[in-house]
């Protein structure tokens, strides 16, 4: 007798054996479906937990990033004007500077004062074209931007 033949002289087409095989198949099929649903539920639960943890980890609870700030100043007697756009950068602040009413080629120096009171000259250029100057002071900590025009006015723009 081989392993594919029924035991005890039964035949494959025996109704008792066929009924028993159907019950076994039905039982194993139900068990397989239950295991499948249980596994699927576990995967969904894990994904939900991972998604919730990811949402909490990815949430920025620190201060909101500061956007660009535009400040301006005008010297009444001379009509000279200063406009500075302070743009936050990862390393500090980019200052886009525009002067009006100042003769081209006039030397200018720019300084910044932080909210902590520290002042620093951060750049110089010749008037005539807009210029860009950098400072390590973050935008949120800028209190004042000043431009000293050689032989001319001191233009001060308060940031906050």
Residue pLDDT, tens place only, 9-24: 656 577 776 777 777 7
Instruction: Give me the CATH number covering residue 74.
Output: 2.60.40
Is there a domain that residue 3 lies in?
A: no
89 with 47, same domain: the answer is no
pLDDT per residue of the chain (160 residues) written in tens, 0 to 9? 455 566 666 565 777 767 777 777 777 777 777 777 877 888 888 887 776 666 556 666 665 666 899 999 999 999 999 999 999 999 999 999 999 999 999 999 999 999 999 999 999 999 999 999 999 999 999 999 999 998 888 899 998 7
Q: What is the pLDDT of residues 90-105, one digit of tens each?
A: 999 999 999 999 999 9
105 contacts 126 by C-beta, under 8 angstroms: yes
Handedness of CA 118, 123, 129, 130 (dihedral sign): negative
Residue 2 lies in a domain: no
Whether 84 and 117 share a structural domain:
yes
One domain, residues 131 and 95: yes
In this structure, are 57 and 93 located in the same domain?
A: no
Q: How confident is the model at residue 80, as a pLDDT?
A: 93
Q: Is the pTM of this model over 0.85?
A: no
Query: Are 49 and 111 part of one and the same domain?
Result: no
Diameter of the chain measured on Cα atoms: 121
CA distances from 82 to 2, 65, 91, 160 (A): 101, 25, 24, 16
Beta bridge partners of 88: 93
* Structural domain contains residue 6: no
* Cβ contact 141:116 at 8 Å: yes
What is d(CA 76, CA 54) in angstroms, rounded to the nearest whole number?
56
pLDDT of residue 118: 93
Closest CA relative to residue 97, chosen from 65, 135, 66: 135
Residue 40 sits in which domain range? 13-62
Give CA–CA dist 43/141, Å, rounded.
Answer: 48
Whether residue 154 is found in the same domain as residue 100:
yes
Q: Are residues 42 and 92 in the same domain?
A: no
Task: Specify whether 31 is located in the same domain as 78.
Answer: no
Whether residue 7 lies inside any domain: the answer is no
Residue 8 lies in a domain: no
Together in a domain, 90 and 114: yes
Residue 124's contacts (CB-CB under 8 Å, 6 or more residues apart) are: 107, 108, 109, 110
Do 137 and 89 share a domain, yes or no?
yes
């Amino acid at each position: 007798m081989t392993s594919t033949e029924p035991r005890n002289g039964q035949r494959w087409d025996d109704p008792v054996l066929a009924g028993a095989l159907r019950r076994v198949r039905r039982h194993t099929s139900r068990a397989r479906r239950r295991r499948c649903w249980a596994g699927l539920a576990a995967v969904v639960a894990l994904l939900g937990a991972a998604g919730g943890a990811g949402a909490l980890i990815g949430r920025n609870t620190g201060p909101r990033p500061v956007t660009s700030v535009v400040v301006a100043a005008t010297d009444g007697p001379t009509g000279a004007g200063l406009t500075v756009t302070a743009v936050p950068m990862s390393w500090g602040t980019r200052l886009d500077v525009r002067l009006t009413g100042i003769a081209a080629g006039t030397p200018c120096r720019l300084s910044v004062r932080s909210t902590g009171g520290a002042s620093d000259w951060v750049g110089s250029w010749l008037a005539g074209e807009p210029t860009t100057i950098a400072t390590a002071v973050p935008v949120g900590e800028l209190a004042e931007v000043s431009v000293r025009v050689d032989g001319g006015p001191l233009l001060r723009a308060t940031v906050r």
